[in-house]
């Protein structure tokens, strides 16, 4: 007669263990023998795109935030506590949620969704306590409302359980690697969202990769043709000088949206033409 199997005892520690986020960011260089882009290339292309487009207006406020952060750091180093003209930064939690709402939609729609969310729920405590259906209704204009609402609710619920408050300002005291690990632990928060929060809302040097930047990186042979967004993100973050990451990221993103030759959606919809201004990337790649 077959003996009954003993059930494996599960400790209380194992029972409450949260499974790791499958989107955890790796720092292992995927293309160690791929020596592009060089620092010189990055600087040249940054300057050429800046001359062509000027600095993109949509990122102007983030640039001011970085200047404010640098000024604040400088004052602390010099023993000064002056704060004249210093504006209060957008909270990290606001920045993260606005980034979640920007996924797979236009800037106009994501901004409208965030404004609608704030109008319906003045505080994050209100959002956490609200029925998810009401949250979905508030952000529906941004698209993917059920998915984004679930992600936001989970984020707030986890913050309340872990920290006892709905705030992410503690991230400002962590290193970049610690911030990546912390944000990646929340379900639905992927590498691109983490990178955007680092670059735009924490004023740290990182390099998010969207479809426009991925396509341009391949066109310029900065990454192999088969590279995906995650590997491109790791590679470019290790190759691009940190002092160029912010400007270059904003400019490549803007250029990718405006230039027919660099867009991933050529032939699928009308794009703005660079009338009278040849694409400056023509000088850096024979294939363009």
Catalogue the long-range contacts made by 180-183 (C-beta closer than 8 Å, 24 or more residues apart): 180/25, 181/24, 181/25, 183/96
For the beta carbon of residue 177, count every other beta carbon within 10 angstroms: 10
Closest to 209 (Cα-Cα) out of 278, 256, 265: 256
For 43-66, the DSSP string reads HHHHHHHHHHH-S-GGGHHHHHHH
Q: What are the Cα distances from residue 251, in Å, to 59, 205, 214?
A: 9, 15, 13
For 64-77, the DSSP string reads HHHHHHHHHHHHHH
Q: What are the Cα distances from residue 31, in Å, to 13, 37, 213, 223, 252?
A: 39, 12, 17, 8, 21
| DSSP alpha helix (H) spans, the chain | 12-15, 39-53, 60-77, 92-101, 107-120, 124-129, 132-139, 145-163, 176-184, 191-196, 211-219, 229-239, 242-258
- Out of 89, 118, 187, 192, which one is annotated catalytic? 192
CA dihedral 127, 129, 133, 137 (to 10 degrees): -30
Tell me, yes or no, if 192 is annotated catalytic.
Answer: yes
User: For the CA atoms of the chain, what is the radius of gyration?
Assistant: 22
Q: Are 191 and 233 in contact (CB under 8 A)?
A: yes
CA pair distance 213, 238, nearest whole angstrom: 16
Angle, helices 242-258 vs 60-77, to 10°: value is 170
Which positions are annotated as active-site residues? 192
């Amino acid at each position: 007669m077959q003996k009954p199997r003993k059930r494996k005892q599960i400790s209380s520690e194992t029972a409450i263990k949260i499974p790791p986020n499958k989107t955890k960011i790796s720092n292992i260089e995927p293309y160690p023998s791929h020596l592009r882009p060089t620092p010189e290339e990055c600087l040249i292309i940054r300057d050429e795109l800046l001359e062509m487009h000027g600095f993109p207006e949509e990122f102007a406020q983030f640039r001011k935030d970085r200047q404010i952060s640098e000024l604040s750091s400088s004052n602390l180093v010099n023993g000064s506590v002056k704060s004249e003209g210093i504006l209060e930064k957008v909270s990290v939690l606001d920045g993260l949620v606005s980034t979640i709402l920007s996924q797979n939609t236009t800037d106009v729609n994501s901004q409208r969704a965030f404004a609608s969310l704030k109008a319906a729920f003045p505080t994050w405590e209100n959002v956490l306590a609200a029925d998810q259906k009401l949250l979905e209704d508030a952000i529906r204009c941004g698209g993917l409302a059920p998915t984004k609402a679930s992600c936001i609710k989970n984020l707030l619920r986890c913050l309340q359980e872990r920290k006892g408050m709905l705030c992410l300002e503690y991230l400002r005291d962590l290193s970049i690697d610690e911030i990546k690990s912390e944000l990646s632990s929340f379900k639905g928060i992927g590498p691109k969202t983490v990178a955007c929060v680092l670059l735009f809302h924490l004023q740290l040097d990182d390099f998010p990769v969207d479809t426009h930047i991925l396509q341009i990186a391949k066109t310029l042979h900065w990454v192999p043709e088969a590279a995906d967004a995650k590997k491109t993100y790791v590679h470019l973050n290790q190759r691009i000088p940190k002092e160029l990451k912010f400007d270059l990221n904003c400019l490549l993103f803007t250029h990718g949206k405006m230039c027919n030759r660099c867009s991933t959606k050529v032939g699928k919809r009308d794009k703005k033409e660079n009338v009278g201004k040849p694409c400056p990337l023509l000088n850096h790649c024979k294939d363009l």
